[in-house]
Amino acid sequence: MQLGELRISYGQSYLAQDRRSARSSMAVSYPKDSQLATKGAAGLIADSTWRNALAKQAGETCVKGFIADYYATPDNWDTKTSANRVLSALNSWLFAQSRTVTNGSYISSMSALLLRGNQAQLFHMGDTLVYRLRGAEFQLLNREHTTYLGGYRYPSRAMGMDPSLDIDYLNFNVRQGDLFLFTTQAVKGTLMPSDFVQLISQYSEDLNQACDEILKKAMEKASKRGYSSYNFCFQLLRVDQVPQDVGQGLGDAYSSLPVPNELQEGDVVDGYRVERVLSRSATSRIYKVFDTQNDRYLVLKAPSPQIACKKEFIAHFIMQQWVVERVSSPYVARVVDLSRPRKQLYYLMEYIEGRTLQQWIEQNPDADIKLRVDLIEQLTKAVRALHRREILHQNLTPQNIMVDSHGVVKLMDFAACGVAGMTDLPLLLTLARRVGLTPYTAPEYRLGKEPGERADQFSIAAIAFELLCGHKPYAGQLESMSSKVDFSRLEYVPIFQLEPSIPVWMDAPLRKALQPNSELRYRRLSEFIYDLKKPGSAEMRVEASESNPLNFWKGLAGLLLLLLLLSLFY
């Protein structure tokens, strides 16, 4: 427990020529609920090197994305773990975006100060500046990562610059009255430390006014020295009260929660009564439960008792809730976050009234093609929502997908999910293999190669194939494959040969998405679903030649004969 609570106050001031030229972004987050104890308060600043619309997006993405994701991390993660994982995921997303744009990039310097209890933790990349004023001591807490190129100064380390992230980390105690100043590299060369100390002390009662006066003074000095002041920004954060720790924090309490034993119908866990056992797998247990306090049905998911002693799998289970909470899509089941204290390790999801996609396929063998394609498109949207958050599903099967009473697809199971840049390759492969390789699993997992978004694409295409014709692609072949040579011998049977009612042109996108070599699949899922919905003349020509090879060779032979006769005649 803690005596009192962390209290802060803050102020901000900013100058930019226009909204488009704004390169910097800053924010302070001070939650008023239990998150103040588990996550603490945060002060952030980000600054891009570019002077265009992308610069504003890069800075805002760093600040807003970090705040949103950090406060959604599991309560039992410590501050450093939560921040590092969020920063790594955010960096991966920014780096991926930078590769798709020209005349700019999603590269930004960033500093994040997290205050929890009587501890401060600073995470820094780039050339943004964080100072601490303690009494009369004005100290720069971070160091600049910069380099000179062509006479200009650039960050040598920043968010979105490289697929791997190197973070400067500083941990220290805070005291009541500590005051932190966040600003950008552009301010250097204007005000002296004594100027900052004087202005902050003079206007300490109103931190917004203090920031305004600092900005005004900095602009005056910049003007006299011929500096540009169009991108000056200042943020002050003061610690008004520091809690005194006298016991275990809320976040630490969750880290020792026991894994539930095997539950049966009628068992009650924290007010949730088990109605039915939905699934028992090697990694998890899934139950339909009734919330006796709120009179509603939910899904309770807990780790399998067999993996209770395996720390890496328990850590991954805890991360699952955070992974799903980061995804916002009508086609992905929602996590239900209730404030009721937990005595055991589990999380709750919305209960979907419906049937699995496997059941839907068996019960609707003559369904209209448009209806089946619509279900495929919904599944694609669900997986794209995961991919936008750098999440790989890795275990897409018709049994893991629900179709509710309104015909809406809901992605339900996330036991093998991994976050790009945050989950090591061996663990990614281990997770996928532990839940079980299926006829829908991409060849990468059997070959031990690094999976990517195209692995999920293979699984979607395999499900789509079965949904359209009632047969699995490569039926009975994948299970025995273990090498590149094996996969080179795979025999693909066109879908229209298995189900004559399927248009010939629909086989082209399925064949491409089901290529054993991931490099030959679609670059984006959106391209796959577009080709599946609309016939293209090129695909139709290819399929026409492949579906009737005898006519193709007859035509080719006739053309060669004609050319030979013409050459003899002339």
CATH number for 284: 3.30.200.20
Asked whether residue 568 is domain-assigned, the answer is: no
CATH of the domain at 76: 3.60.40.10
pTM of the complete model? 0.64
pLDDT of 338 reads 67
Indicate if 232 and 294 belong to the same structural domain: no
pLDDT of 244 reads 62
Indicate if 308 and 379 belong to the same structural domain: no
Mean pLDDT of the chain: 85
CA 405 to chain centre: 29
Identify the band that residue 569 occupies on the pLDDT scale cut at 50, 70 and 90.
Answer: low
Q: Is 187 left (phi over 0), alpha (psi -120 to 50) or beta?
A: alpha
Indicate if 314 and 438 belong to the same structural domain: no
pLDDT score of 2 more than 60: no
pLDDT of 542 reads 47
Asked whether residue 254 is domain-assigned, the answer is: no
The phi and psi torsions of 350 (rounded to 5 degrees) equal -65, 145
CATH of the domain at 406: 1.10.510.10
The boundaries of the domain holding residue 282 are: 265-350
Indicate if 366 and 476 belong to the same structural domain: yes
Asked whether residue 417 is domain-assigned, the answer is: yes
pLDDT of 551 reads 64
pLDDT of 397 reads 95
Alpha helices of 203-310 — where are they, by DSSP H? 207-225, 250-254
Indicate if 233 and 319 belong to the same structural domain: no
Asked whether residue 563 is domain-assigned, the answer is: no
pLDDT of 180 reads 97
What 3-state class would DSSP assign to 242? coil
Identify the band that residue 241 occupies on the pLDDT scale cut at 50, 70 and 90.
Answer: very high
Indicate if 304 and 444 belong to the same structural domain: no
Asked whether residue 370 is domain-assigned, the answer is: yes
Strands 146-149 and 152-155: antiparallel
Indicate if 359 and 421 belong to the same structural domain: yes
Max Cα-Cα span within the chain: 105
pLDDT score of 457 more than 70: yes
Sign of CA dihedral 548, 554, 557, 561: negative
Residue that finishes a domain, picked among 350, 369, 399: 350
Indicate if 150 and 270 belong to the same structural domain: no
Indicate if 324 and 368 belong to the same structural domain: no
Indicate if 69 and 199 belong to the same structural domain: yes
pLDDT score of 255 more than 60: no
Residue that finishes a domain, picked among 212, 245, 278: 245
* DSSP annotation of 468: H
Indicate if 222 and 289 belong to the same structural domain: no
Tell me the per-residue pLDDT of 333-370, one tens digit each, with 9 for 90 and over.
Answer: 988 876 677 889 999 999 999 999 999 999 999 999 99
Asked whether residue 541 is domain-assigned, the answer is: no
Asked whether residue 253 is domain-assigned, the answer is: no
Q: Per the structure, how many domains does the chain have?
A: 3
Indicate if 237 and 270 belong to the same structural domain: no
Asked whether residue 291 is domain-assigned, the answer is: yes
Sign of CA dihedral 359, 362, 363, 367: positive
Structure tokens that stand for 227 in this block = 């500096």
